[in-house]
Amino acid sequence: MSTIQRLALFLTRAAVLLALGTSESSAPGLVYMHFVANTPADNPFLPTWAAILLVLIRSLSLIARYNVGETRRPYVILILVHYKDWKDRSEGGRSMQLDSVKGDLKRLLDYLKYRHGDTTRTWYILSDFEYMYEDYTGTVQAVTRCGLPDRETILKTIEEATKNGGSGLIHYGGHCHYAVPGTSSLEKRGSLNIYTETNDYQQGRKAAYLVCGDGKRIYGIELFARLPYSSNTGTVSTTTLVLDTCHAEGFTGEELPSGSDPEYMPFVNPTLIPHVMLLHQLIVVTASRLHEKALSVNGCGALTFFMIKYLD
Question: CA–CA separation, 254 vs 256, rounded Å?
Answer: 6
Distances in Å between the alpha carbon of 185 and those of 88, 203, 207, 212, 248? 10, 18, 18, 11, 22
Which residue type is seen at 255?
E
Distances in Å between the alpha carbon of 241 and those of 59, 181, 202, 223? 13, 24, 32, 11
Q: What is the reported pLDDT for 290?
A: 86
Residue 278's φ and ψ, nearest 5 degrees, are -90, 130
Question: CA–CA separation, 176 vs 250, rounded Å?
Answer: 9
Residue 231 pLDDT class (50, 70, 90 cuts):
low
Report the chain's mean pLDDT, rounded to a whole number.
74
| Residues 278, 169, 59, 102, Cα dihedral to 10° | -160
Q: Which residue has the higher pLDDT, 229 or 157?
A: 157
Q: What is the DSSP string of 251-266?
A: HHHTTSPTT--TT---
Question: CA–CA separation, 219 vs 196, rounded Å?
Answer: 17
Which residue type is seen at 240?
T
Q: What is the DSSP string of 99-146?
A: THHHHHHHHHHHHTT--TT--SSEEEEEESS--EEE-TTS-EEEPPP-
Q: What is the pLDDT of residues 13-36, one digit of tens each?
A: 344 334 333 333 333 333 333 333
Kindly tell me the sign of the dihedral angle through the C-alpha atoms of 21, 49, 63, 177. positive
Instruction: Please check the confidence at residue 274 and state whether its pLDDT lies above 50.
Output: no
Q: Which positions ≥6 away from 18 have C-beta within 8 Å?
A: 241, 252, 282, 283, 284
Which residue type is seen at 29?
G
Residue 34: other Cβ atoms inside 10 A = 14
Q: How large a percentage of the chain has pLDDT more than 70?
A: 65
Question: CA–CA separation, 283 vs 262, rounded Å?
Answer: 18
Q: At what angle do helices 100-111 and 302-311 cross, to 10 degrees?
A: 20
Residue 310 pLDDT class (50, 70, 90 cuts):
confident
- Most confident option among 124-128, 224-228, 250-254: 124-128
Instruction: Please check the confidence at residue 85 and state whether its pLDDT lies above 70.
Output: yes
Q: What is the pLDDT of residues 289-304, one digit of tens each?
A: 888 899 999 999 999 9
Residue 272's φ and ψ, nearest 5 degrees, are -70, -20
Q: Which positions ≥6 away from 66 have C-beta within 8 Å?
A: 74, 167
| Residue 81 DSSP label | -
